[in-house]
Structure 1
Amino acid sequence: MRSEINNVLQVLKNGGIILYPTDTVWGIGCDASNPEAVKKIYKLKQREDSKALICLVADDRMLKKYVKTIPESAYSIIEISEKPITIIYDEAQNLASNLIAEDNTIAIRIPDNEFCYQLSRRLNGALVSTSANISGQPTPKSFKEIAPAILKGVDYVVNLHHEKTCDKPSSIIKLSNSGIVKVIRK
């Protein structure tokens, strides 16, 4: 795993995009602070850049780097959730501007996945994570289901867990600083 992380870090630091296994589905990712790399992902997915993308961070300490004010309830939700949960936070900061939604929110997950944890930690930053499909197409449940256009369109394919299958992306909730909680995806 260490050599894969080193390979991926080189690609990310050079503004490249990767295809990698996450705690949920196979994802397309890049350094979340690089607007040019984020632009490449939108282009590859044929997705409007007004539709925000998810970021992964290593831990709650790193989360504080990207969210100005984290509601106290977020820590409880992360801790008690039995499945992967992405939270949309108000007041995004220190990220590529084309990654932040028009209402200044950002969707972030702390994955329970050693590869993603180590990669984010070694990058010392957030990773973009969006499902490995063309916008509007079904999310691939395994590496074998990823479309050739996606495989050819990334700069690097992580050579780990190609046998992994997954039924579902994460749950998504919006947790505003005013205390309002809204379930976006169960």
Structure 2
Amino acid sequence: MNTEIKNALEVLKNGGLILYPTDTVWGIGCDATNPEAVKKVYKLKQREDSKALICLVADDRMLKKYVKKISEAAHSIIDISEKPITIIYDEAQQLAPNLIADDGTIAIRIPDDEFCYQLSRKLNGAIVSTSANVSGQPTPKSFKEIVPAILKGVDYVVNLHHEKICDKPSSIIKLSNSGIVKVIRE
């Protein structure tokens, strides 16, 4: 795993794209603070950049770097959730501007996955994590379902968990600073 982290980290630091296994599905990733890298993700996915992407961070400490105010409810939801959960926070900061939604929000998950944790920790920053498919196409449930255009469009494919089957993306909850909670995806 250390070699894979080292290789992926080098690509991320140089503004490249990686294809990697997350705690949910295979993802396309880049350094979430690099606007040029984020632009490459949108281009590869053939997706409008008005549709925000999810980021992964290693832990609470890192989450605080990218979100101005984290409510107690967010901590509770993260603590009690038994499955991967992505929370959309108000007032995103210190991320690539083209990653932040028009309303100033950002979707972030703290993954329960050793590779993602180590990669984010060693990058000392957030990593974009969007499903490894062209926009509008089905999300691949395994590595072998990823289309050639995506495989060829990234700079590095992480050589881990190629046999892993993932049938579910994370749940997504929007948690506004005013206390309103809205389930976006169960």
Normalising by structure 1, what TM-score?
1.00
Q: Does 1:41 align with 2:41?
A: yes
SS of the residue corresponding to residue 28 of structure 1 reads strand
Q: Aligned residue for 1:15?
A: 15
Percent identical residues: 87
Q: Which residue of 1 aligns with 2:156?
A: 156
Structure 2: any 5+ residue segments left out of the alignment?
A: none
Partner secondary structure for residue 122 of structure 1: helix
Counterparts of 2:119 and 2:19, CA distance in 1 = 13
Partner of 2:117: 117
SS at match of 2:140: coil
User: Does residue 140 of the first structure (1) align with residue 108 of the second (2)?
Assistant: no
Structure 1's unaligned 5+ residue stretches are: none
CA root-mean-square deviation: 0.3
Tell me the TM-score normalized by structure 2: 1.00
Q: Per-residue displacement from partner, 1:140-166 (whole Å, max 9, x unpaired)?
A: 000000000000000000000000011
- How many angstroms apart in 2 are the aligned matches of 1:137 and 1:22? 19
**1:1-186 alignment, distance < 5 Å:** 1-186=1-186
SS in 1 for 2:88: strand
Q: Within 2, Cα distance between the matches of 1:185 and 1:47?
A: 19
Which amino acid in 2 is paired with 1:103? D
AA aligned opposite 1:56 = L
